[in-house]
């Protein structure tokens, strides 16, 4: 793969959030991912990590930060943090509820020092509720929302990596919440707490499926619906080469094109929306797609209105012509990683390196104005 890092790399903050200051308390998963997005969009993110953490300054999720090592059990260090936060726009933390309060950095204390601060809290279960103090991971947070039960084979739910809870329902909702609170703060001059719980965000992502269930268009049986692999016209199929392709021919005109290009003249395929016919039609498509390799199907279907794409591995994805043309992936420090998203026409996001820093230097800089 060509090294496309140069156009996307910078030591200077630019992007729509340039000038905004964010203090991140180091964590794992959704918090760092959210702060990566804020940093890519130009925010100055200062990460406070434990002494001796030896943070990987070249990791994708940790890019764009100034990293400060501090002992947060030291009262002198807490005083330095409060001094830094006095000139910050937002704070992001992902500890269990009550930890920041015990450190002397809870919302009441911090907002007293900086009333306009947006205080972003990232947890799995939320700041309150019967499970608030329980440990958990993505798989648990999406389990209680109905999401995990709806994903998988007919026999068993299948974890969708940790995309739904940690990143979709967690990091992205935290980013939206922090940005919304920053906009409101510009009008009111007042900050507030953003309680971003992964179980709440994952539940929100399920909104359409609750609607479909209420309308009688979705059943709770996995692999029996039109978006969960139950329908023959929306799913993944193995090819002769043992690689896979995906089709999403939901609309009648797309389905008609699928039939045309795949040679599906069998009149049984007329019953597109007959759920009872789906298992038989799905097996017929299994047999059809195994007659050619993935590359052969790509030549026939890719770029058409079938709604078709090859199923690529992470190694293959950056080399796909569309991904390559858009520079969707970049290579930085020898590591291929996704480029910043979304894209801005006038204030483009950039990838910046993480650097070790001193809290006193940053505090002096922030006290000097913007």
Q: Is-contact 304 314, C-beta < 8 A?
A: no
* Strand, coil or helix: 126: coil
pLDDT of residue 3: 36
pLDDT above 90 as % of the chain: 92
Report the range of poorest mean pLDDT among 197-201, 359-363, 365-369: 365-369
182/189 Cα distance (integer angstroms): 10
166 an active-site residue?
A: yes
| DSSP string for 240-253 | TTS-EEEEE--SHH
- Residue spans of alpha helices (H) in 117-161: 138-143
Q: Which residues pair with 123 in a beta bridge?
A: 197
Does pLDDT of 4 surpass 50? no
Does pLDDT of 294 surpass 70? yes
Which of 40, 89, 138, 166 is flagged as catalytic? 166
Q: Is-contact 45 352, C-beta < 8 A?
A: no
Q: Residue holding tokens 């434990």?
A: 50
Residue range 132-138: average pLDDT?
A: 97
The secondary structure of 313-363, three-state, reads: CCCCHHHCHHHHHCCCEEEECCEEEECCCCCCCCCCCCECCCEECCHHHHH
255/248 Cα distance (integer angstroms): 9
pTM for the full model?
0.94
pLDDT of residue 7: 41
Query: How many H-runs (helices) and E-runs (strands) does the chain carry?
Result: 13, 12
Mean pLDDT of all residues in the chain?
A: 95
Give the model confidence (pLDDT) of 236-245 as tens digits.
999 999 999 9
Q: Which residue has the higher pLDDT, 13 or 17?
A: 17
pLDDT of residue 130: 98
Residue range 352-369: average pLDDT?
A: 94
Give the model confidence (pLDDT) of 50-101 as tens digits.
998 877 777 889 999 999 999 999 999 999 999 999 999 999 999 999 999 9
Q: Is-contact 292 239, C-beta < 8 A?
A: yes
Residue range 129-156: average pLDDT?
A: 98
Whether the ω angle into residue 247 lies within 30 degrees of 0, i.e. cis, is no
Q: Is the dihedral of CA 69, 72, 77, 80 positive or negative?
A: positive
Residue range 148-153: average pLDDT?
A: 98
Whether the ω angle into residue 187 lies within 30 degrees of 0, i.e. cis, is no
pLDDT of residue 287: 98
Find all residues with CB under 8 Å of 249, minimum gap 6, and list them: 233, 234, 255, 257, 258, 306, 307
pLDDT of residue 299: 98
89 an active-site residue?
A: no
DSSP state, 168? I
Does pLDDT of 354 surpass 90? yes
* Strand, coil or helix: 27: coil
Closest to 310 in 3D by CA, of 226, 227, 231, 247: 247
Does pLDDT of 1 surpass 90? no
Give the model confidence (pLDDT) of 247-282 as tens digits.
999 999 999 999 999 999 999 999 999 999 999 999
Centroid of chain to Cα 282? 31
Which of 113, 137, 320, 353 is flagged as catalytic? 137
pLDDT of residue 301: 98
336/351 Cα distance (integer angstroms): 13
Residue range 1-24: average pLDDT?
A: 69
Give the model confidence (pLDDT) of 186-196 as tens digits.
999 999 999 99
pLDDT of residue 343: 97
pLDDT of residue 59: 86
DSSP state, 220? S
Domains and CATH numbers, the chain: 6-207+340-367 (3.40.50.10540), 234-323 (3.30.1540.10)
300/294 Cα distance (integer angstroms): 10
Centroid of chain to Cα 216? 30
């Amino acid at each position: 793969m060509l090294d496309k890092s140069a156009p996307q790399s910078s030591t200077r903050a630019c992007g729509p959030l340039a000038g905004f200051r964010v203090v991140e308390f180091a964590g794992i998963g959704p918090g760092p991912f959210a702060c990566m997005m804020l940093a890519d969009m130009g925010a100055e993110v200062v990460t406070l990590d434990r002494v001796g953490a030896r943070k990987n300054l070249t990791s994708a999720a940790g890019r764009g930060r100034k990293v400060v090592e501090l002992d947060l059990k030291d009262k002198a260090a807490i005083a330095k943090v409060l001094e830094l936060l006095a000139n910050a726009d937002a704070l992001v933390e992902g500890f269990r509820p009550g930890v920041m309060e015990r450190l002397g950095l809870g919302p009441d204390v911090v907002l007293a020092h900086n009333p306009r601060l947006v205080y972003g809290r990232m947890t799995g279960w939320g700041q309150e509720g019967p499970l608030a103090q329980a440990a958990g991971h993505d798989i648990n947070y999406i389990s209680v929302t109905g999401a995990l039960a709806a994903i998988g084979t007919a026999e068993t739910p299948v974890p969708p990596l940790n995309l739904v809870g940690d990143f979709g329902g967690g990091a992205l909702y935290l980013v939206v919440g922090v940005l919304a609170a920053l906009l409101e703060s510009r009008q009111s001059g007042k900050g507030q707490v953003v309680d971003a719980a992964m179980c709440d965000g994952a539940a929100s992502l399920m909104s359409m499926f609750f609607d479909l269930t209420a309308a009688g268009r979705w059943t709770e049986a996995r692999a029996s619906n039109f978006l969960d692999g139950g329908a023959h016209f929306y799913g993944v199929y193995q090819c002769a080469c043992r690689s896979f392709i995906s089709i999403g021919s939901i609309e009648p005109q797309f389905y008609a094109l699928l039939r045309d290009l795949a040679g599906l003249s069998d009149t049984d395929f007329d019953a597109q929306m007959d759920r009872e016919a789906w298992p038989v039609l799905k097996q017929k498509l299994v047999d059809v797609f195994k007659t050619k390799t993935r590359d052969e199907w790509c030549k026939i279907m890719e770029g058409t209105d079938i709604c078709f794409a090859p199923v690529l591995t992470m190694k293959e994805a950056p080399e796909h012509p569309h991904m390559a043309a858009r520079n969707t992936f970049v290579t930085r420090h020898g590591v291929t990683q996704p480029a910043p998203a979304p894209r801005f026409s006038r204030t483009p996001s950039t990838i910046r390196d993480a650097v070790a820093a001193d809290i006193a230097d940053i505090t002096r800089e922030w006290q000097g104005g913007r």
